[in-house]
């Protein structure tokens, strides 16, 4: 049993993490922090946890040493205090973007500020077990992944690592929880309800992670993201329009994805000729850590459409962080993550 604490547990990712860790057989949650809600019971902010914990939020200044610190702060805060956090815990998993990128120059380029602790960037492993499992087994520090980045990476990794893609355009439809728990005029219900709102047609920040992890040329990556908010709370669906170097038939695509993902505990191939959902559907993944991936070839046009779905708070954030923890501690990766989602929902 390890003792873990969550810094920034009042947000959606922090709350989801708390839900998962409370049910995890090898973790005791020691403390949860929030400056705004210090002293309050967690279940007033995360009402699904009533009856599951009597933990109250504490201030960051009252944080005590533990075995593992999860950092679920807004981007830009963990990087300012990383030395302090490292003095409190042997291991850290940071869900923010602060330690995802290896090149310090990427931070002013994509996040608008210099990184204050660039020497820490090499110490963090990009927290995606499917790509970095062996490094994570011995890592003390792991980053999270961008929710849009991880769903796109899982969709495209098998194709890019084989050099099959000439260019790709990824159209992401995402739920409102990606925007976090702090309200804005744009998230006010009369404005947000029912939208199909394209808010990042080009240059979304998560492209930086894709360039890094797929080893693309930053000046001309040949990979394009467009993000659209839709009227769901949880979920991200990546529709990846891949223009291939050569035609691929679907049997070949099946073989490629099976070869890479057959043993992955949280990747499923969904390209069904029967059933209700014949391609990946985020709705049925709510609360689960799965990434479902499907595809359709367009024979004769060297085009392949890959479709991938996740729950952005699970495989896109807290669930993936718990999976990363399981790898770091050599526990079975599914531990604490067995929930299969709901149907109907």
Partner 1 sequence: MLTVECPECAATVELPADVEVGEILVCPDCGVELEVVGLEPVAVDLAPEVEEDWGE
Active centre residues (catalytic): 147
Closer CB to partner 1, residue 189 or residue 251?
251
Closer CB to partner 1, residue 19 or residue 271?
271
Residue 245 CB, nearest distance to partner 1 (Å)? 21
Helix-then-strand count for the chain, H and E: 10, 14
Torsion angle of C-alpha atoms 311, 313, 316, 320, degrees rounded to 10: -110
Q: Which residue has the tokens 């501690």?
A: 329
3-state SS, one letter per residue, for 318-339: HHHHHHHHHHHCCCCCCCCCCC
Residue 3 CB, nearest distance to partner 1 (Å)? 42
Distance of alpha carbon 202 from alpha carbon 228, whole angstroms: 11
Question: Coil, strand, or helix at residue 4?
Answer: strand
Residue 289 CB, nearest distance to partner 1 (Å)? 21
Residue 176 CB, nearest distance to partner 1 (Å)? 26
The answer to whether 2 touches 27, Cβ cutoff 8 Å, is yes
Closest to 116 measured CA to CA, from 75, 145, 88, 144: 75
Residue 297 CB, nearest distance to partner 1 (Å)? 12
**Cα-based distances in Å from 235 to 15, 167, 269, 286, 341:** 16, 25, 17, 7, 12
Closer CB to partner 1, residue 150 or residue 291?
291
Residues that bind partner 1 (CB under 8 A): 250-251, 254-255, 258, 269, 271-275, 278
Crossing angle of the two packed helices 129-137 and 318-328, in degrees rounded to 10:
40
Residue 268 CB, nearest distance to partner 1 (Å)? 10
Neighbours of 280 (CB within 10 A): 27
Distance of alpha carbon 129 from alpha carbon 65, whole angstroms: 26
Closer CB to partner 1, residue 44 or residue 254?
254
Closer CB to partner 1, residue 50 or residue 255?
255
Closer CB to partner 1, residue 123 or residue 277?
277
């Amino acid at each position: 049993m390890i003792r873990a604490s969550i810094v920034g547990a009042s947000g959606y990712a922090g709350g989801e993490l708390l839900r998962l860790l409370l049910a995890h057989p090898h973790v005791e949650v020691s403390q949860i922090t929030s400056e705004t809600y210090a002293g309050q019971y967690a279940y007033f902010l995360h009402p699904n946890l009533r009856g599951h914990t009597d933990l109250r939020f504490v201030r960051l200044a009252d944080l005590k040493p533990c075995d593992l610190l999860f950092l679920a702060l807004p981007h830009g805060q963990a990087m300012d205090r990383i030395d302090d956090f490292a003095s409190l815990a042997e291991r850290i998993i940071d869900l923010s973007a602060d330690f995802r990128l290896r090149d310090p120059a990427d931070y002013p380029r994509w996040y608008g500020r210099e990184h204050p602790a660039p020497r820490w960037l090499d110490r963090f492993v990009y927290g995606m077990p499917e790509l970095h499992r062996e490094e994570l087994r011995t890592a003390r520090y792991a980053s999270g992944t961008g929710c849009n980045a991880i769903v796109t990476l899982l969709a495209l990794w098998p194709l890019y690592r084989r050099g099959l893609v000439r260019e790709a355009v990824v159209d992401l439809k995402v739920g409102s929880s990606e925007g976090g728990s702090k309200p804005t005029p744009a998230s006010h219900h009369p404005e947000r309800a029912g939208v199909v709102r394209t808010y990042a047609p080009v240059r979304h920040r998560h492209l930086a992670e894709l360039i890094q992890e797929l080893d693309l040329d930053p000046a001309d990556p040949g990979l394009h993201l467009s993000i659209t908010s839709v009227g769901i709370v949880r979920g991200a669906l990546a529709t990846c329009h891949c223009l291939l170097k050569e035609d691929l038939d679907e049997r070949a695509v099946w073989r490629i994805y099976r070869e890479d993902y057959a043993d992955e505990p949280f990747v499923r191939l969904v390209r069904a000729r029967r059933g209700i959902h014949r391609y990946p559907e985020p709705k049925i993944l709510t609360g689960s850590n799965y990434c479902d991936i499907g595809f359709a070839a367009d024979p004769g046009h060297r085009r392949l459409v890959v479709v991938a779905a996740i729950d952005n708070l699970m495989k896109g954030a807290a669930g993936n962080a718990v999976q990363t923890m399981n790898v770091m501690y050599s526990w079975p990766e599914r531990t604490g993550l067995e929930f299969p989602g709901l149907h109907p929902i």
